[in-house]
């Protein structure tokens, strides 16, 4: 599960490069889309990070390990 | 009235910081990392408040004034994911190692991890050199805020001086606990007042819809990104938030966490906090074009304050100005304390003075060093004429380029002392080259390609660490076992 979440984080990261709408002047939720897209992306980031914390939390660090162990479920 | 509100605010911050200082136990560990007792909420406020400075309030609004709404995508949305990931992958591990071996500074960790005094000394010197521009934007922001919000009645040197003195007093008396409490208070203040400022000023401009429509017809280039934000610049900025991984002040706050789970809230809430601060900064910056269309260069730093001064009644202007002060001071304090920490631990204690001085005398030496650094920064602020955004990006560039070092230290057993020294060398010489070449050139990029120096420097640093490490002798088995225990490798 931990590796799947890492893969999700990696893929999600690249969704921030919205190069296709660099010259799009339209509005989304009343704001220029170049701003509102990134506000939505930042909001979605919270969900992705929640998955990371839930499924990949380095519990071993509490015992002084390097943190590579599986998270407690 | 405005001035009275601001002075009242400074007195309140002083009271909070000094109040926390009454709990000071007289030891170095308590002074510098609050005996590792900071819980999740104060940790979140400390980490976030420390990272949000004049750069995020005045600098972001000024940059938005110049290049438009794309500034949010440049810094805010990338920081909102990169920085929590750094907390997750770097902060938690450094916290665990710091707790296990009693570290208080980055240099102590690197010195032990790579069995090298020289690495510790170089990191101390490089960190101090890169933090000074970061301190400078805070002092400049304080001076600018006070001058513009009082309509020019108070000269800028007074604002910078007031902020420097207040921060110096509560940091030197309260240590990290005082700083964390003051940070929490101030972060809440600037988050709430930032939102109030946005709603109030947008109301004055005829609402969001009206302001956006006016902006789109007056300056259509500012509501899209293609004209003011080259793709190479957009991509390059991804690397700037990596600086958080090597900020000494963030390292210090990580070590103050009570337990591993204290990191969960900062990781999850950081993106939300980013939006609360950056959306108002960016929107008010671009809306500033409607009110003050002809600001140039360093004058753009004050666009937000000019908007507040123009539209807000005196009492509200004072409160909103206090919000800017809060953002500035919540960063200055941690930066100042981390410098004090580094000087005490990495110079005074490490180089043999610990046997000749009591623990309190060592803390005093750290305080005196900080007083000297603040004085130097204040004097520089009197002559500096640059944009806050630009100055901060040069500081972030250096710290970002050092990021491969901490990744190698934590995750790559084969990384060697020579590799890390090569990485530091690449950053130092590369940064000096680019800074001397481009610090006075607006929109500077490498060879005019649009690629920022941070890309070249980070790549050079990573390549130097990897190549030289592979060509040199690995660290001793004892060191590897210390930082990568066998039990971990078996289960990892």
What is the model's pLDDT at position B197?
Answer: 82
Query: Which tokens in the block code for residue B279?
Result: 């959306």
Tell me what the mean pLDDT of segment B174-181 comes to.
72
What is the model's pLDDT at position A69?
Answer: 43
What is the model's pLDDT at position B165?
Answer: 87
How remote is the C-alpha of B274 from its chain's centroid?
Answer: 14
Residue A64 has pLDDT above 70, yes or no: no
Rounded to a whole number of angstroms, the distance from the CA of B370 to the nearest CA of chain A is 33
User: Which tens digits make up the pLDDT trace of B108-164?
Assistant: 999 999 999 899 899 989 998 888 888 888 888 788 888 877 777 888 888 888 888
Number of H helices, E strands in chain B: 23, 0
- Name the nearest CA neighbour of B162 among B352, B14, B369, B368: B14
Sort B355 into a burial class: Cβ within 10 Å, 0-12 / 13-18 / 19+. exposed
Least confident of B27-31, B169-173, B283-287: B27-31
Residue B18 to residue B383: CA distance in whole angstroms: 31
Give the HSE-up count for residue B121: Cα atoms under 13 Å, Cβ half-sphere.
7
Which residues of chain B lie closer than 8 angstroms to A58, CB-CB? 92-93, 260
Nearest to A65 among B70, B279, B488 (CB): B488
Residue A70 to residue B489: CA distance in whole angstroms: 13
What is the model's pLDDT at position B491?
Answer: 47
What is the model's pLDDT at position B461?
Answer: 97
Give the CA dihedral B325, B329, B330, B333, nearest 10 degrees: -170
Of all residues in chain A, the one with the smallest CA distance to B232 is: A19
Element (H, E) at A27: strand A27-28
Q: What is the pTM of this model?
A: 0.89
Which residues of chain A lie closer than 8 angstroms to B272, CB-CB? 46
- Look at residue B417 and give its three-state secondary structure: helix
Sort B261 into a burial class: Cβ within 10 Å, 0-12 / 13-18 / 19+. middle
Of all residues in chain A, the one with the smallest CA distance to B77 is: A42
Which residues of chain A lie closer than 8 angstroms to B78, CB-CB? 16
- Name the nearest CA neighbour of B281 among B259, B308, B311, B258: B308
User: Which tens digits make up the pLDDT trace of B37-74?
Assistant: 788 998 898 889 888 877 777 788 888 998 888 899 98
- Please list, in sequence order, all residues whose beta carbon lies within 8 angstroms of the beta carbon of residue B104, skipping any fewer than 6 positions away: B28, B29, B32, B33, B98, B252, B255, B341, B345
Assembly ipTM: 0.90
How remote is the C-alpha of B417 from its chain's centroid?
Answer: 28
Of all residues in chain B, the one with the smallest CA distance to A24 is: B224
Contact A42 B485 (CB under 8 A): no
- Name the nearest CA neighbour of A18 among B70, B66, B242: B70
What is the model's pLDDT at position A73?
Answer: 32
User: Which tens digits make up the pLDDT trace of A8-31?
Assistant: 999 999 999 989 888 888 888 888
User: Which tens digits make up the pLDDT trace of B306-361?
Assistant: 888 788 777 777 777 777 777 788 788 888 888 888 888 888 888 766 667 777 77
- Please list, in sequence order, all residues whose beta carbon lies within 8 angstroms of the beta carbon of residue B164, skipping any fewer than 6 positions away: B139, B142, B332, B374, B377, B378
Least confident of B69-73, B257-261, B289-293: B289-293
B407 CB near a chain A CB, below 8 Å?
no
What is the model's pLDDT at position B153?
Answer: 81
- Name the nearest CA neighbour of B179 among B13, B346, B6: B13
What is the model's pLDDT at position B376?
Answer: 86
Instruction: Please name the residue ranges forming H helices in B256-411.
Output: 264-291, 303-311, 314-342, 359-383, 388-411
What is the model's pLDDT at position B31?
Answer: 65
Sort B380 into a burial class: Cβ within 10 Å, 0-12 / 13-18 / 19+. middle
């Amino acid at each position: 599960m931990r590796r799947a979440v890492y893969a999700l984080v990696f893929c999600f990261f690249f969704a921030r490069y919205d190069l296709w709408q660099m010259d799009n002047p339209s509005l989304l939720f009343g704001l220029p889309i170049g701003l509102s897209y990134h506000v939505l992306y930042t909001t979605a980031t919270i969900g992705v990070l929640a998955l990371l914390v839930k499924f990949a939390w380095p519990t071993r660090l509490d015992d002084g390990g390097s943190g590579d162990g599986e998270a407690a479920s | 009235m405005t001035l009275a509100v601001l002075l009242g605010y400074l007195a309140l911050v002083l009271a909070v910081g000094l109040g926390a200082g009454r709990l000071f136990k007289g030891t170095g560990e308590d002074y510098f990392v609050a005996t590792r007792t900071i819980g999740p909420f104060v940790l979140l406020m400390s980490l976030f408040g420390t990272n949000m400075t004049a750069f995020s309030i005045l600098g972001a609004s000024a940059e938005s004034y110049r290049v438009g709404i794309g500034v949010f995508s440049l810094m805010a949305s990338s920081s909102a994911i990169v920085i929590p990931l750094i907390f997750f992958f770097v902060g938690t591990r450094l916290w665990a190692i710091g707790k296990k071996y009693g570290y208080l500074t980055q240099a102590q960790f690197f010195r032990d991890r790579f069995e090298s005094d020289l690495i510790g000394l170089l990191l101390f010197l490089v960190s101090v050199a890169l933090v000074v521009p970061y301190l400078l934007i805070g002092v400049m922001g304080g001076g600018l805020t006070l001058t513009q919000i009082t309509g020019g009645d108070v000269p800028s040197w007074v604002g910078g001086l007031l902020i420097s003195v207040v921060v110096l007093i509560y940091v030197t008396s309260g240590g990290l606990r005082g700083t964390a409490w003051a940070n929490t208070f101030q972060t809440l203040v600037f988050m709430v007042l930032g939102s109030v400022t946005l709603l109030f000023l947008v109301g004055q401009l005829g609402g969001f819809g009206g302001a956006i429509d006016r902006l789109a017809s007056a300056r259509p280039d500012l509501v899209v990104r293609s004209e003011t934000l080259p793709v190479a610049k957009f991509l390059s900025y991804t690397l700037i938030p990596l600086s958080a991984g090597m900020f000494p002040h963030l390292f210090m706050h990580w070590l103050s966490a009570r337990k591993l789970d204290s990191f969960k809230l900062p990781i999850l809430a950081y993106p939300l906090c980013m939006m609360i601060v950056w959306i108002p900064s960016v929107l008010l910056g671009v809306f500033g074009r409607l009110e003050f269309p002809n600001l140039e260069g360093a004058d753009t730093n004050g666009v937000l304050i000019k908007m507040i001064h123009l539209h807000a009644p005196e009492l509200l202007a004072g409160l909103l100005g206090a919000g800017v002060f809060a953002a500035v001071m919540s960063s200055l304090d941690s930066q100042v304390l981390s410098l004090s920490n580094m000087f005490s631990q990495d110079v005074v204690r490490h180089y043999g003075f610990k046997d000749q001085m009591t623990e309190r005398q060592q803390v005093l030496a750290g305080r005196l060093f900080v007083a000297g650094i603040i004085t130097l920064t204040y004097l520089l602020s009197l002559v500096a004429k640059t944009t806050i955004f630009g100055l901060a990006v040069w500081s972030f560039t250096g710290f970002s380029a050092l990021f491969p070092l901490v990744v190698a230290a934590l995750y790559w057993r084969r990384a060697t002392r020579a590799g890390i020294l090569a990485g530091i060398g690449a950053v130092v010489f590369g940064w000096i080259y680019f800074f001397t070449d481009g610090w006075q050139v607006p929109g500077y990029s490498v060879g005019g390609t649009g690629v920022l120096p941070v890309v070249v420097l980070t790549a050079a640093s990573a390549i130097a660490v990897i190549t030289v490490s592979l060509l040199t002798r690995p660290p001793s088995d004892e060191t590897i076992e210390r930082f990568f225990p066998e039990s971990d490798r078996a289960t990892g």
